Amino acid sequence: MENFWDILTWGAWIGAAALLLWMILDAIRVNREYSEELLISSREGADELLEADKKGGK
């Protein structure tokens, strides 16, 4: 039974390492694809809805 828990523990560590690696690679990809200005702006969301309302004449 102890062997089962050892395997499960190693599996959890491998899963956590894979998740960390994926998060780091995704952060690098996002940093390359988008500018810092775009990432910290609030152009998305509520501002887009307001612009759509102005263009639609509502």
pLDDT in tens, 40-58: 776 555 566 566 666 765 5
Residue 30 CB partners (closer than 8 Å, separation 6+): 39
Task: Say whether pTM exceeds 0.85.
Answer: no
DSSP-derived letter for residue 58 is -
Comparing 21 with 36, which gets the higher pLDDT? 21
Q: Spell out a b/e string for 40-54, using b for 16 or more CB atoms within 10 Å of the CB, else e.
A: eeeeeeeeeeeeeee
CA dihedral for 28, 34, 37, 42, sign (positive or negative): negative
Percent of all residues in the chain with a pLDDT value above 90, rounded to a whole number: 53
Q: Where would I find the H helices in the chain?
A: 2-33, 36-40, 46-56
The pLDDT assigned to 18 comes to 98
**What is the rounded average pLDDT of the residues 21-32?**
96
